[in-house]
Amino acid sequence: MGETRNEALAAWLKAHGMSVAELTDAVNVAVQNLTGKPGATSERTVFRWLSGENKWPQERQRIALEMITGLTITALGFVPRGKAKTVSTPPPAPPEDPSVHRRRFVGAATGTAAAVAVPLASAASRPSRVGTSDVIRLRDAVENLVELDAERGGHTALERAALAGADEAIDLQKRSTTQRVRQRLFALASDFTATAAWSMIDAGQPDDAGRHLDRALTLAGMAQDSDMTMQVWNLRAMLARQRGYYAEAVAAAQAARATSIVRRSPMHASLAHARTAIGLAHSGEHRAALRSLGRAEDAIAKADLSVPLPIWMAFYGPAELYSITAIVQDVVGHAAEAEAASYRALAALPEGYRRNRANTTVRLALAQLHQGDVEQAVTTSGEVFEIMAGDPIPGRMRQTLGDFQRDLITLAPSEHIAHEWIDRYRTEWSTP
């Protein structure tokens, strides 16, 4: 009977962007850390694991694989000897519990960068040679920060932790390693630095964000990583729009569209077109904005939504595109279409995306206000504070709420309900 391919291990490699050669290197490094002697696992051994020819690695290899992946050996699709005949299909690897990441950041909301950056290794514990296991460790640290951002929003402790991670990655690439690992470390340094920039964008601190993005773009170029380059240009477009530099926002979005990853990935292409649409709408180029929005919709329709996205793009999908559509339609003067898109976004958002839900609710309130439905808009905007109850409102959201107050005063200056809203919510939305 033929062997059964180890789909669980193959899926883990794909999800983490790791090659057979890199897994081989990581196993050997882990074995050396365990035993004090270099591991002897070959690429042929890993191919045999993947093909199902070898269903149960040696004990030290099993321990190394569990250390590298954080999963049990059976969750990685391996079958103990004596059970192979009774198990026809290896169990799929379970999704990693986000709470595991969050537990690594106990005290992060009030602590220092050192408290946040728990996964980063101390100098004394590092082996002399840097390998794939270091790449995995730092990639986990990036994911931890993204989890923290999703839970708390942009803040200075997150920024400091991300910059500490970037420094760690840059320091490691100076040591003995392969060119491939060195490039991955530069890519991780770029990812950490872009995460710091995003934290400042979300916190409404554009000057710090701009400096971080300049550095992140340089690091992405050194890594020769198109995905990281796309991430930086996407954030640059967001920052430019936040500062009111709409021509720059369009140029940055177009630079994102020019990256090679956009030609390979419909999801990246959709995001780049959507970001272009926002910049064009604010620049007064309304027809061009709607054309770009249409291209974003066409691209996402071609995407396989089951394929895992890079961690920085986890926010993007149909719900986010509906939310961007609401922004574009409202800016070009189609408030009814913006309201409809906001409702679609809210219906499509996963339950846990609280800040996204709050941001979209503000956009819904603006669309209702721009149609003259002042009472409904005021009621809708009040839901934002209920959604965010117990957590500070990020700077970017406060700015949008400020836009709502400005338009409320402009469109309904004598309405009693407008003054009530200002009296009730001004302190909540304006306090950092």
Measure the CA angle with vertex 92, ends 87 and 98; round to 5°: 145
- Enumerate residues 6+ apart whose C-beta is below 8 A from 205: 395
Rounded to the nearest 5°, which phi and psi values hold at 390? 95, -10
Query: Could you tell me the two tokens for 285?
Result: 């180029």
Give this prediction's pTM. 0.75
Query: Could you tell me the two tokens for 117?
Result: 């950056």
- pLDDT for the residue 343: 97
Alpha helices in 283-391 (DSSP H): 286-302, 318-331, 335-348, 354-370, 374-387
pLDDT at 120 over 60: no
**DSSP-derived secondary structure for 284-308:** T-HHHHHHHHHHHHHHHHHS-TTSP
Q: Does domain 1-95 have CATH number 1.10.260.40?
A: yes
pLDDT digits (tens, 9 = 90+) for 11-48: 888 877 778 888 888 888 778 777 778 788 888 899 89
Write down the mean pLDDT value for the chain: 83
Rounded to the nearest 5°, which phi and psi values hold at 119? -70, -15
Query: Could you tell me the two tokens for 101?
Result: 């990441």
Q: Which long-range contacts (CB under 8 A, 24 or more apart) does 408-411 make?
A: 408/369, 408/374, 408/377, 408/378, 411/369, 411/370, 411/372, 411/374
pLDDT at 124 over 70: no
CA of residue 202 relative to chain centroid, distance = 13
Q: CA distances (Å), 269 to each of 99, 194, 329, 342, in order?
A: 31, 19, 20, 22
pLDDT digits (tens, 9 = 90+) for 206-215: 888 999 999 9
Lowest-pLDDT range of 150-154, 240-244, 418-422: 150-154
Closest CA to 346 of 318, 315, 382: 318
Domain boundaries, the chain: 1-95, 97-222
Q: Is 129 helix (H, G, I), strand (E, B) or coil?
A: strand
Higher-confidence position of 255 and 402:
255
CA of residue 383 relative to chain centroid, distance = 26
The band of 152, judged by pLDDT with boundaries at 50, 70 and 90, is: low
Query: Which class for 63: exposed (0-12), middle (13-18), buried (19 or more C-beta within 10 A)?
Result: middle
Is the separation of the CB atoms in 302 and 267 below 8 Å?
no
State the DSSP code for 309: P
Q: From CA 198, how far away is CA 201, in angstroms rounded?
A: 5
- pLDDT for the residue 431: 59
pLDDT digits (tens, 9 = 90+) for 175-219: 877 888 888 899 999 999 999 999 889 888 888 899 999 999 999
Q: From CA 176, how far away is CA 174, in angstroms rounded?
A: 7
Is the separation of the CB atoms in 26 and 13 below 8 Å?
no
Rounded to the nearest 5°, which phi and psi values hold at 176? -65, 120
Measure the CA angle with vertex 342, ends 381 and 395; round to 5°: 50
**Could you give the dihedral angle defined by the CA atoms of residues 196, 201, 206 and 212, in that order, rounded to the nearest 10 degrees?**
20
- pLDDT for the residue 367: 97
- pLDDT for the residue 83: 55
The band of 95, judged by pLDDT with boundaries at 50, 70 and 90, is: very low
Count of alpha carbons within 13 Å of 291, Cβ hemisphere only?
5
- pLDDT for the residue 203: 81
The band of 153, judged by pLDDT with boundaries at 50, 70 and 90, is: low
- pLDDT for the residue 432: 55
- pLDDT for the residue 36: 77
- pLDDT for the residue 415: 72
pLDDT digits (tens, 9 = 90+) for 319-342: 999 999 999 999 999 999 999 999
pLDDT digits (tens, 9 = 90+) for 166-175: 999 999 888 8
Q: From CA 284, how far away is CA 276, in angstroms rounded?
A: 13
State the DSSP code for 176: B
Is the separation of the CB atoms in 362 and 397 below 8 Å?
yes
- pLDDT for the residue 429: 60
- pLDDT for the residue 430: 59
